[in-house]
Structure 1
Amino acid sequence: MMSEELKKIFLAGLGAVAITAEKSKQIVDELVKKGELTLEQGKQLNEELKHDACDKIKKHVTVNVTHEWDGAGISEAISKMTSEELANLKADIARREKALQEPEVESDGED
């Protein structure tokens, strides 16, 4: 199914970011240990690296999820709804049914 493949791709990207952040933290920690950076500089550099990684992901990653609904999928989704969500869905369906039953009235341009 397409959504499963997208989920796997998304999780792989997320894992890559986590590994990158972890490796950058290790490098910063080593530099601090060697005395090449102060502890405060190391913390700041690590935060900047995390922020940069998040910005790059936001800039270059777009996730579009589409659903191919079948009867079973719709039934499963409805079964997980709260009473309020179900009531809202029923009201929305009623509005759409009413709109479909009403003949379209063309505007004569006078408003």
Structure 2
Amino acid sequence: MAAIDDLTEGARKAFLLGVGAVAMGAEKTQGVVNDLVKKGEMTVEQGKAINEELHRKVSEAAADSSDAALKEKLRGMTPEERAAWVKKAQQYADDLDAETVEVEVDETDDEHAKA
């Protein structure tokens, strides 16, 4: 089971490292876009479009980084360790699926529905 804990910690660190690097690059790029908009070299709409594209690429890069770290860690495990990790991950997923979700009801909406 130590391999499972190592996987979790290793994957978490690799994921955070990848996200941090991408986020820093995205932050600098966003600053450049904002400067271009301020200088009038780019319209606000063009700036928004670039920023939306940037956010999408950051999300994709973070997912790719996480997937690569997980695959690499799994590659270093024995088949038995991988099977134990999958079983534990499935239990986590089942536990999350079973959690009760509380929903707040706005009573003013309820009163409007009755009217």
Normalising by structure 2, we get a TM-score of 0.48
Greater helix percent: which structure?
2
Question: Quick check: which has more Rg, 1 or 2?
Answer: 1
Tell which has more relative contact order, 1 or 2 (C-alpha 8 A, sep 6+).
2
